[in-house]
Structure 1
Amino acid sequence: MAYLDVMDAKTAFISPENARDKGTELQEAYVGASPFPHTVIDNFLPDELAQRILDSFASSEGGDDLNQSYERAQERFKTSYHPDTLDPELRAIFYAFNSRPFLKVVENLTGVKGLIPDPYFFGGGLHEINQGGHLSMHADFNHHKPLNIERRINLLIYLNKDWKDEYGGQLELWDAAMTKKYHSIVPIFNRCVIFNTTSNSMHGNPHPVSHPDKVSRKSVALYYYTATWDGSKRSHTTQFKVRPGSGDQQDWTIKLRELKDDLVPPIVNRKMGNLMRRLKRAQ
């Protein structure tokens, strides 16, 4: 039986009544988990719904300028498909994931109240990592600038049939100092991982995908926020860190950019940014 047995398998909607208490039974274990609050739930969605998402994976209706592909040392052979580029049925499922009853379940489970969905789906949607690809250990960006809200929760649903540990792509959870790996989670079909998103929640799938039939690693990625951002917090983009004794590479581009932001007065920074944008338009 699916964990979300209260979810409609066709629409992905949950009635407000059925969402009232769903998830509360997992909250204590979630909050007390190490190295940061998280949970792993197998058979999360109704199986029919998870299968429909997989069957329609990345079926596009255009708008490919919203999709993003990454090819660098920290993110290799990764593509993110924005929900607004997907076919209508799949798009509607993502809108259901942003609905109030679904948010209520996530609030019950995590204990984080007042969750706000992202109508822009910044960084969210369908994620695919192809053969040889990986995502290095990192903490996610913490500030949704257009809405001025704070990122709080990641919810990932994996869509990989018959996936084995030796195929790579495991989600790893590490402590903030990158001294210890606490969990290595195989991204099997309909497995959901939910965790608190902070500047110290180090996670990633650093082991390259290595499927014998070159099948890609697929997942749904959803991010939720709260209206708790204030001027005392420092906004940052994705923060990559290296694993001890590994061949991971530092993200010097981001580190140098942040150093510049710390040292250069804001007025000079703005003028430099305006100049760079004008030069880019002139090319």
Structure 2
Amino acid sequence: MNYLNPLIKDLNQFGEDRQKEYLNAEPFPNIVIDDFFNEDILSKVTDDFPDLSKKKDIIVYDNPNEKKLAAKGEGSFSETTKSFAHYLNSQPFLEFLQKLTGIKETLIPDPHFNGGGYHEIKPGGLLKVHSDFNKHEFTLLDRRLNLLVYLNKDWDESYGGHFELWDKEMKNAVKKILPVFNRIAIFSTTDFSNHGHPNALTCPPGRSRKSLALYYYSNGRPKSEVNRPHATIFKDRANMKGETIKEPVTFKDIVHDIVPPILLRTIKKIIR
């Protein structure tokens, strides 16, 4: 099955050809590509997307920082979506991401879809600007890349839902991306890759902002990219001090800060 746009004949070459664009993008390495996937397959993925508010095994985020819904793992995926998501975690696609991003460490997929998978935002929902958690909860690998696949047909600009990339100082949204069907965003995740959907969604009742999120990891990373292991860090926009709340520090956060990764892996194996 060909999951890609038929015009893409050589995926690795496509990645090499776009690498400079990715690495030189502002405000941090990223790229936005339209019509990347096979439209028929992605239409089926879109048609199969459930109303997450009616599903049981989901995560409901409802606080000043985020108002959104997320499925747990691939349990809610249709067969088409499952096959598509597995392709995005496959060797050929990982090799493409390696070529595109120039990341030297071997990229590793996340079959758990930890924090990823189906994401849905209803009218009035949002996701304030943040930098992502940087360690996988189970494997303790380093989070390196996000891939967002947007699934919103006939999405009008007035509906909002723009995905925004902000500078280090949180002064400007350098890039605003409308989440239209068959548009993807790929970006490197570091302490300074500030991104989000900070303004409340204004789409009509009965519509929602749908996406499929995949995260990629490596065993080790450049020290310049992160200061320490941490959970998601929400950040105020420069002209809106106090718009986010500070997430409470958990015992798990403290343990991750003070215990070496190799010891943490050993402890988890013993517990299992």
Q: What are the within-5 Å matches in structure 2 for residues 1-283 of structure 1?
A: 8-9=2-3, 18-58=10-50, 64-65=56-57, 67-113=58-104, 114-228=106-220, 234-246=228-240, 249-254=243-248, 257=250, 261=254
Instruction: Note the C-alpha offset of 1:265.
Output: 8.5
Per-residue displacement from partner, 1:41-60 (whole Å, max 9, x unpaired)? Answer: 01111111110110000389
**Cα–Cα, structure 1 residues 125 and 248, in superposed 2: closer, same or farther, change >3 Å?**
farther
The alignment's TM-score, normalised by the length of structure 2, stands at 0.82
Distance 1:84 1:78 in 2: 15
Per-residue displacement from partner, 1:188-239 (whole Å, max 9, x unpaired)? Answer: 1111010000111000001111113441000110100111169995210000
Gaps of 5+ in 2: 260-272
State which drifts further: 202-211 or 230-239. 230-239
Query: Do the aligned partners of 2:233 and 2:247 also contact (CA within 8 Å) in 1?
Result: no
Per-residue displacement from partner, 1:65-124 (whole Å, max 9, x unpaired)? Answer: 3x2111111111433353233233321221111100011111111111411001111111
Distance 2:134 2:258 in 1: 23
Query: Do the aligned partners of 2:153 and 2:180 also contact (CA within 8 Å) in 1?
Result: yes
The alignment partner of 2:19 has SS state of: helix
Query: Which 4+ stretches in 1 moved above 6 angstroms?
Result: none
Distance 2:71 2:241 in 1: 25
**Cα–Cα, structure 1 residues 234 and 128, in superposed 2: closer, same or farther, change >3 Å?**
same
Instruction: Give 1:106's aligned amino acid.
Output: L
Q: How many residues are matched?
A: 251
Structure with the greater alpha carbon radius of gyration: 1
Distance 1:99 1:245 in 2: 42
Instruction: Give 2:15's aligned amino acid.
Output: G
**Cα–Cα, structure 1 residues 91 and 63, in superposed 2: closer, same or farther, change >3 Å?**
farther
Percent of aligned pairs with the same residue? 38
The alignment partner of 1:210 has SS state of: coil
State which drifts further: 146-155 or 126-135. 146-155
Query: Do the aligned partners of 2:150 and 2:184 also contact (CA within 8 Å) in 1?
Result: yes
Distance 1:265 1:194 in 2: 31
Instruction: Note the C-alpha offset of 1:20.
Output: 3.8
Query: Do the aligned partners of 2:123 and 2:204 also contact (CA within 8 Å) in 1?
Result: no
The alignment partner of 1:84 has SS state of: coil
Per-residue displacement from partner, 1:222-259 (whole Å, max 9, x unpaired)? Answer: 100111169995210000001122376332233x559x
Distance 1:54 1:247 in 2: 37
Query: Do the aligned partners of 1:175 and 1:202 also contact (CA within 8 Å) in 2?
Result: yes
The alignment partner of 1:53 has SS state of: helix
Distance 1:219 1:153 in 2: 16
Query: Do the aligned partners of 2:234 and 2:246 also contact (CA within 8 Å) in 1?
Result: no
**Cα–Cα, structure 1 residues 216 and 249, in superposed 2: closer, same or farther, change >3 Å?**
same
Query: Do the aligned partners of 1:140 and 1:237 also contact (CA within 8 Å) in 2?
Result: yes
